[in-house]
Structure 1
């Protein structure tokens, strides 16, 4: 009899342990979990026929593809760059930035390396973590926007979604040319950061207190402390992948102007779908107010034009440093 009781007790303990592990690690074992995984794209967009195709080169010699979309007004308020999600491409920008063109903003959207029509490099397969290669891509795009004939001399803002938001945050901490940021559903920069973020929702775990003491070691937290750009953070109230408390911890570290907009009933990267009208109004107003024209920092290293003999159609531009000819 005692052996049977011990067996039941062991099964009960095993059940509790497995339940705790599943809640903490959130192992995706069903299709719904996979659908909600922040690094899996949920939809793709058809390319626009309009726009000017641009090929440009990063500092480490990788050729990227982008599209310049001209504003729909006579005068320009600045240029907005779109930083797309993991496994997305430049055309994921359309729901987010199309209305900005009507408000007087030029738009530049591009494919990160190993995405879309940009060059694929060995060992550069997409991953949830933010890498120096990701930052090099966005830095090249930002500096291109300050030199390209259609965008030169105008303030630059960036809107990023999910991993694209994390890349934008990290890059803006080091790139003074970025004047304003809209960060939608910031994805933690490293796998262990995501695990730490999820612990913020486990108030009953003793480790939560430890995580709060040590979260200043998270890359995004350090980057947030260095931001100089005005920042609008957008996050879904029902985002189960990146808890709101983690996002608040990032927002409180930003020394420059920072607004945090929590969208009710929105999950990861769903704010535009849930509150489209309010979303469009808010980001247009934010960029219009914060992207005032000012001289470019003198210490910024601007991209150079590629040699004329290396410029096929469409136009190819290159950032500083030498590299391969455009593929």
Structure 2
């Protein structure tokens, strides 16, 4: 009893200090503990959220080419294959980067028309996929990391060496799907020999993580007013914290595609995204499209879900990708087309091939559906 009275007396004499400490605990310590719990629970997003494939590996006819092996930038051996263009005229070489949980043979559903129209294709297995090994301790996930970036760099280096051995100009195109699209953008941002790139279902890990955290916030709090009215800076702080913990837990870095595309020297880019993509909403591609330099194009595939534009609109998909690379990789004259010299589908779009009106007006319909 005497001890309790002594404690009360101390509190009474130091009430101002007690009030300050209590305020700090309520306003700082408790929120930090809650956020830590939320961030750790939210790491499940990065551990287990897998995107759907457009089709299973047995739902399309494989294309077979010349087997090749080459090292990733960090020395890990990777498996791939070269698909030679059909016909005498070769327009260029395109490096294909498959989606997560797929393999090099995925190129068949996306690249068959390109091979038939004169393009050589280098396709390969990212580490931990298909025939490529995975180093101990690393688990590939749906988010592009510095490891997949090393794989993509290795593939591009191999492609450049192959072109040099063939006595051909060392420039190439990149074609990536979902996570592979992210790796393609990251490499294009640092390599000026990439003349053009087409990406389907591209996203940036940081902004996508923020989207998922906002989307699932209601699971962690019943205060709807709170999670719907947090300022943007709060969510950015939260995503930075989450990526920090992910780096520590998974032992890898998560490069920002958003930052890479913002600093990229202007390169022709074709963005494709499914209108009904519920896994990665089309807004993710729109954000990257806005950051990209000219010329740039975005086709939102009507009714298509994640990675399904090529399934629902096979002919349109083929026409767009072939016409795009014909214009910016396979053509000797790559200037903007004049009215007297139209350029396939891209001259019939809702904006000129330079895409300036679309960027200025905020419209993303740079390629007419």
Under a length normalisation based on structure 2, what TM-score does the superposition of the two structures give? 0.63
Residue 72 in 1 paired to residue 86 in 2?
yes
CA distance change for structure 1 residues 80 and 259 in 2, over 3 Å: closer, same or farther? same
Question: How far is 1:115 from its partner?
Answer: 1.2
SS at match of 2:263: coil
Q: Name the structure with the higher helix share.
A: 2
Greater RCO, CA 8 A, separation 6+? 1
Superposed structure 1 runs of 4+ greater than 6 Å apart: 199-202, 211-218
Q: Partner of 1:166 in structure 2?
A: 182
Q: Distance in 2 between matches of 1:75 and 1:82?
A: 20
Q: Partner of 2:201 in structure 1?
A: 185
Quick check: 136-145 or 151-160, which moved more?
Answer: 151-160
Alignment length, in residue pairs? 262
What aligned pairs does 1:221-240 form with structure 2 within 5 A after superposition? 221-228=258-265, 229-240=267-278
* Aligned partners of 1:184 and 1:269 also within 8 Å: yes
CA distance change for structure 1 residues 189 and 171 in 2, over 3 Å: closer, same or farther? farther
* Aligned partners of 2:276 and 2:302 also within 8 Å: yes
| Structure index of larger Rg | 2
* Aligned partners of 1:41 and 1:88 also within 8 Å: no
Q: Partner of 1:195 in structure 2?
A: 209
Under a length normalisation based on structure 1, what TM-score does the superposition of the two structures give? 0.71
* Aligned partners of 2:203 and 2:257 also within 8 Å: no
CA distance change for structure 1 residues 262 and 293 in 2, over 3 Å: closer, same or farther? closer
Picking from 215, 220, 243, the partner of 2:257 is 220
- The answer for unaligned runs of 5 or more in structure 1 is 1-20, 29-33, 295-327
What aligned pairs does 1:105-116 form with structure 2 within 5 A after superposition? 105-116=119-130
CA distance change for structure 1 residues 83 and 50 in 2, over 3 Å: closer, same or farther? closer
Residue 247 in 1 paired to residue 282 in 2?
no
Q: Distance in 2 between matches of 1:265 and 1:52?
A: 36
Q: Partner of 1:118 in structure 2?
A: 132
Q: Distance in 1 between matches of 2:167 and 2:54?
A: 30
